Amino acid sequence: MTLPAAFLTTPIAHRALHDLQAGRPENSVEAVRAAVDAGYGIEIDLQLSQDGEAIVFHDYDLARLTGERGPVQMRKAADLVQIPLTGGSHPIPTLELILQEVAGRVPLLIEIKDQDGALGPAVGRLEQATAAALKGYRGDVAVMSFNPNSVRVFGGLAPDVPVGLTTCDFNATDWPLVPKARRDRLAALPDIKASRAKFISHDRNDLHSPHVARLKAQGLPVLCWTIRSAREEAEARRIADNVTFEGYDAVIPA
C-alpha cells in the first residue's frame, strides 16, 4: 500500500487548522472543520482512553489543553468526550467523530502517540482501536508514529492503510525517558523495512540529516514537521516533498 498522491501535494495542517484566537483549539472539531473548508490536509494525534478507545488528543495529560488534570489513559472515553477543550466550543473528540467530520474530503494523517513510554514494544491497544475505527473508512488516510513497533503492529492490523514513521534526531532533551542506545539507534532511521513504512515525516530542523538523504535517494517520500512560516516552508521544500504547518496560511498548489 503506497502513500496516496494527495499527501505529497496538499499542505497538511498540524493538529488541524488550529487558532485559539479564532476559537479553534488544536485537534478540535472546529480546527478540523476549518481545515476541510480551506482544502488542507489534516494531521491529528491519538491517545488511548482507559477503556481502549482512540481519542484525538496530543498530550498524555489533560492539563495544558483542558481545565482538567491527570493522564488521558486514566479516564474512560465517555468521560473524556464531556471535557471541553480550552478556547473552543466542542469537547475532546474521538477518532470516530473526526472521521465522520472529514468524511474523505481531504487527506488525513494520523499520528499514534507512543504508549510504551520509551518507544519500545509495549504497544497494541491503541493500534487495535485505530484499526477498528478506520475499518471501512473511505478517503485518503495514512497512519504514523515515532515508535516503529507501533507502526509495525498497526500495519499488521490494517494492511490496506499506508503507514510511516515520524522521525527526528531523537536528542536527549526531547526524549529524556528513552535510553541513549535506543535513541541512537532510532536516529539512524533503520526501521523502514521492518515497519513497512511507506514514508517518513521528519523534524524540519534535521532535514539535512544524511539518513534522510539516504531514504530520499531510495525514493521514499519525505514529509516534515512543523513549519511555521512561508520562509520555513520554502527552505524545507528543498528537501521535503510536503509540509505539516501551523500558524500561517500555506499555499495549496493550483
pTM above the 0.85 mark? yes
| Across 182-196, average pLDDT | 98
Supply the pLDDT for residue 82.
Answer: 98
Q: What percent of the chain shows pLDDT beyond 70?
A: 100
Q: Which three cell numbers stand for residue 50?
A: 482507559
pLDDT band at 97 (very low <50, low <70, confident <90, very high): very high
Do residues 189 and 200 lie in contact, with contact meaning Cβ atoms separated by under 8 Å? yes
DSSP 6: H
Of 111, 196, 101, whose CA–CA distance to 139 is shortest? 101
| Cα gap 251→196, rounded to integer Å | 31
| Cα gap 11→206, rounded to integer Å | 19
pLDDT for 1 beyond 90: no
| Across 124-128, average pLDDT | 98
| Cα gap 53→95, rounded to integer Å | 8
Host H or E run for residue 36: helix 29-38
The whole-chain average pLDDT of the chain stands at 98
Do residues 73 and 60 lie in contact, with contact meaning Cβ atoms separated by under 8 Å? yes
pLDDT for 254 beyond 90: no
| Across 99-116, average pLDDT | 98
Indicate the burial class of 158 (C-beta count within 10 angstroms; 0-12, 13-18, 19 or more): buried
pLDDT for 123 beyond 90: yes
Residues 6 or more apart in contact with residue 78 via CB below 8 angstroms:
none
Sign of CA dihedral 233, 204, 13, 199: positive
In DSSP terms, which residues pair with 223 in a beta bridge? 201, 242
Q: Which three cell numbers stand for residue 218?
A: 531510495
pLDDT for 159 beyond 90: yes
Host H or E run for residue 54: strand 54-56
| Across 191-211, average pLDDT | 98
Tell me the CA distances in angstroms from 106 to 118, 173, 179, 222, one per residue in order: 32, 35, 38, 19
Q: Which three cell numbers stand for residue 24?
A: 479553534
